[in-house]
Amino acid sequence: MEIDYRKNKLRKQCSEASEIKKNFGVNAKRVSSRLDELTSAPNLEVLMQIPAANCHPLTGNRAGEWAVDVSANFRLIFEIAEDPIPIKENGSINTKLVTKVCIIEIGDYH
């Protein structure tokens, strides 16, 4: 998938292994793994099939955002960057057609 970042600071934090280690400490290896999974997945449907990622849509005041697990409470949070967002006839998102995401946060939102 194609990945963009909401803020340039976040882009820099995720740009190379040393920056990931510096910014995410004990979670660095898992953050790096999730970024690799996002990059190598051709679409959101494939990402949702990776058990360790536990890719899921968020609800409530975070509706429209998605998350993948990094650790117990630590998440990589992104939005679908397709314009328009592909919708199935039943009103759900057609995850097979989602090939662009925008990472908005990496952290504990709980």
Domain residue limits, the chain: 2-107
For residue range 64-105, what is the model confidence (pLDDT) as tens digits? 999 999 998 999 999 999 999 999 999 999 999 999 999 999
pLDDT at 13 over 80: yes
Homologous superfamily, domain 2-107: RelE-like (3.30.2310.20)
pLDDT tens digits for range 30-49: 999 999 999 999 999 999 99
- Predicted TM-score (pTM) of this structure: 0.93
Q: How far apart are CA 62 and CA 47, in angstroms?
A: 20
Concatenate the DSSP letters of all residues of 85-110 into one string. Answer: PPB-TTSSB-GGG--EEEEEEEE---
